[in-house]
Amino acid sequence: MAAVVNRLRPLGVPILLLLLLAGPGTGLINSYWSRTVMLIAILSLLVSGLNVVLGYAGELAMGQVALYAVGAYVAGYLGVRLGMTDVTLALAAAVLAAVVVGLVTGVPGLRLGGWSLAMVTFFLVILVPNLIDVFEHFTGGTLGLAAAVPTLFGAEITGDRLYILILVVTGLWFAVARNLLLSRHGNMFLVLRQSPILASMLGVSVYRLKLLVYVVGAIPAALAGALFSMLDGFIAPETFTFALALSVLAASVVGGSTSVYGALAGAAVMQLGQQTFTQFQDWQLVIYGAFLLLAGVLFNRGLAGLFHDGVAAACRRGWLPQNRPSAKAAAASEGREPHLGRLDGAVLRTEGLSKSFGGNKALQDVSVEARPGEVTALIGPNGSGKTTLLNLICGFYRPSGGRLLLDEEQVGGRAPYRIARLGVARTFQTPLIPQHMSTLAFVATGRYVTHRVGLLAAVLRLPAFRRGYAADDAEAYALLRLLGIEDVADRPVNSLALGTRRLVEVARSLAAGPRVFLFDEVGSGLDESDLVVLERAIEMIRAAGGTVILVEHNFPLVLKLADRIHVLSQGQLIATGTPAEIQADRRVLAEYTGATDDEATEPATRKGGR
């Protein structure tokens, strides 16, 4: 039974599509319903594009309507003015136009996060009537444009054929969206949505990835526009209103933005609502607004979220078979003793590194060195500059002075993702954990840049994709086993306790096979047994030849693990030495205990005071 359900699961969507396709031809649905289905399909394309941007990359793009207009007018213009009525040509031209508009608005709009893109795209919607007017020669101005009858290889596409065309194009887009979003790329989009900082730490250029997502999201909207012009046969400027933009947004949150098929559900609700309730017109703005407000406040994941919760509950009760994606990965790593391959550690050195914020000197003239196969600890009281130093090494801060060298190459001031690509991995004081992702998938994101599978391979599910995916999963699973937490592989990573999250972060940082590890208070919040695992993992990294920099408050842990300890106080390096030397250093003791015997109050230790 379970095997049958699992076997049929991927076939569900194509079967539904086939039934729908056969609808009008076999008299199953009348023309009213076939038009409704087409309108839902077109709206769902708009919504799906928004979902890619909003639900996965976390950027609000309100310009779907403008791209819809672009698609419609491009297809209309080709047909009417140039006599090119072939649908493949029209759709290709619409996609091309969407990419151009996406780049022109996305390149500036994404420079700053948050509201800039929302406003740029909102502006685009408001400009639509304006642009139609200005380009009256192409668009027919306020009078509109009567579209030519579309053709495919010479055959006219009308009636049932148009119905089939619209459904096939919509089905194809959803296949593309599904393959893209349910892949490492989609996972990386989710990481981006949760934390751009984490994304850049994984070696991803946040700006470029956002631009990619935004441009991909523009494509279905333009396709929808081209299809709509074929359906209605007339392109009227009144179609492309701000109210439509809001209905797309409302459909997105109702269906569930962070989902593939939620777009279909949301579009169906909106379309049927508009057709069924005559009062809808008068109150549509209030209704859309209420949807947005409620969805935003209740944090609900839309209809798709309800569906997933239902399926999860059914699986728990044994009504449906459990889906365990890690099973294959587990099988692949079976029998292998958990061990770490050789790591190609690098020497990380700072020379007189300084950082000031305004007049506040957070770090002054700090020179430290971390060598491969060694654990270098940074200790010091709160506010002594430890995390500032880590942020400088990662590239989150630009140094105010001094040099940062990785194997003698000066890397200070480079963008974080470039430094990450040189093999610097990091964990965070507060673990950065995305939503909607299994632990296994999250650990595998660590390999996104180093073991890259191309976008096209993912969309077409090429053999390269399957191989890469299997290798990623196996490696991620092996790392989880190494840390003794393989039992959480299929759990949503954001459901884990703090201690487990820290271990997951360690696994994630290991996944890329980096050269330098920065562990930021990785031990805090761990219980005894987790600490033992962590100690063992760090020792393994050291033995494998990795360079480890440990920022830690847990003094006993530092003494146990570190080969060399640097002590920071008030932004300055006050001592460097082996654990034994540091333990014997009275100045360090003074910093930590506030003891004030004669030696501890030497002027030298206090000169960093403000």
Partner 1 sequence: MTTVWAGLATGAIYSLVAIGYNVVLLASGTFNFAHAQLLMVGTFLAYTGAVTLGLPAVPTVLLAAAGTAAIALIEERVAIRPLLGRSDAHGALITTVGAATILDGLAAAIWGRQPLTVPSGLPDRPLTLLGGAVRPVDLALIGLTLLLGVGLHLWTRHTLVGLASLASAEDRQAASARGINVRLLGVGAFVLAGAIAGAFGLLVGARTYAVFDLGHALALFGFVAIAIGGSGSQLGGLIGGFATGLIYAFAVRYIGAAYPQLVVFGVFLLILFLRPRGLFGAALERRV
Task: Give residues in contact with partner 1 (CB under 8 A).
Answer: 54, 58, 60, 104-105, 107-109, 111-112, 114-116, 118-120, 122-124, 126-127, 130-131, 133-134, 193-194, 197, 242, 246, 249, 253, 282-297, 299, 357, 387, 391, 394, 396-398, 428, 435
We find the least distance from the C-beta atom of residue 206 to partner 1, in angstroms, to be 11
How many beta carbons lie within 10 A of that of residue 349, not counting itself? 17
Q: Which is nearer to partner 1, 227 or 362 (CB)?
A: 362
Structure tokens at 495: 């459901």
- What are the backbone angles phi and psi of residue 205, rounded to the nearest 5°? -75, 110
We find the least distance from the C-beta atom of residue 385 to partner 1, in angstroms, to be 14
Q: Which is nearer to partner 1, 32 or 299 (CB)?
A: 299
We find the least distance from the C-beta atom of residue 519 to partner 1, in angstroms, to be 14
We find the least distance from the C-beta atom of residue 123 to partner 1, in angstroms, to be 5
Q: Which is nearer to partner 1, 3 or 297 (CB)?
A: 297
Q: Are strands 516-520 and 572-577 parallel, antiparallel or unpaired?
A: unpaired
Q: Which is nearer to partner 1, 252 or 572 (CB)?
A: 252
Angle of the 242-255 helix axis to the 302-316 helix axis, nearest 10: 10
We find the least distance from the C-beta atom of residue 112 to partner 1, in angstroms, to be 5
We find the least distance from the C-beta atom of residue 66 to partner 1, in angstroms, to be 11
We find the least distance from the C-beta atom of residue 286 to partner 1, in angstroms, to be 4
We find the least distance from the C-beta atom of residue 214 to partner 1, in angstroms, to be 14
Q: Which is nearer to partner 1, 132 or 582 (CB)?
A: 132
Q: Which is nearer to partner 1, 341 or 359 (CB)?
A: 359
Q: Are strands 234-235 and 145-146 parallel, antiparallel or unpaired?
A: antiparallel
Cα 533 from Cα 54, distance rounded (Å): 38
Is the separation of the CB atoms in 247 and 269 below 8 Å?
Answer: no
We find the least distance from the C-beta atom of residue 222 to partner 1, in angstroms, to be 20
Q: Which is nearer to partner 1, 132 or 162 (CB)?
A: 132
Which residues lie closer than 8 Å to 119 by C-beta, 6 or more apart? 109
Cα 407 from Cα 268, distance rounded (Å): 58
Is the separation of the CB atoms in 416 and 205 below 8 Å?
Answer: no
Q: Which is nearer to partner 1, 164 or 411 (CB)?
A: 411
We find the least distance from the C-beta atom of residue 486 to partner 1, in angstroms, to be 27
We find the least distance from the C-beta atom of residue 111 to partner 1, in angstroms, to be 4
3-state secondary structure of 29: coil
Structure tokens at 438: 């299994």
3-state secondary structure of 352: strand
Q: Which is nearer to partner 1, 107 or 168 (CB)?
A: 107
Cα 18 from Cα 164, distance rounded (Å): 10
Structure tokens at 585: 């250093």
Exposure pattern of 136-165 as b/e (b: 16+ CB <10 Å)?
A: eebbbeeebbebbebbeeeeebeeebbbbb
We find the least distance from the C-beta atom of residue 279 to partner 1, in angstroms, to be 11
Q: Which is nearer to partner 1, 1 or 286 (CB)?
A: 286
Which residues lie closer than 8 Å to 592 by C-beta, 6 or more apart? 381, 555
Is the separation of the CB atoms in 155 and 161 below 8 Å?
Answer: yes
Q: Which is nearer to partner 1, 367 or 400 (CB)?
A: 400
Three-class DSSP labels, 416-455 = HHHHHHCCEEECCCCCCCCCCCEHHHHHHHCCCCCCCCCH
We find the least distance from the C-beta atom of residue 80 to partner 1, in angstroms, to be 22
Which residues lie closer than 8 Å to 591 by C-beta, 6 or more apart? 380, 381, 567, 569, 574, 605
Structure tokens at 459: 């969309």
Q: Which is nearer to partner 1, 7 or 137 (CB)?
A: 137
Is the separation of the CB atoms in 586 and 413 below 8 Å?
Answer: no
Is the separation of the CB atoms in 418 and 395 below 8 Å?
Answer: yes
Q: Which is nearer to partner 1, 79 or 109 (CB)?
A: 109
DSSP H or E stretch at residue 148: none
Structure tokens at 231: 């359906």
First CA to last CA distance, the chain: 73
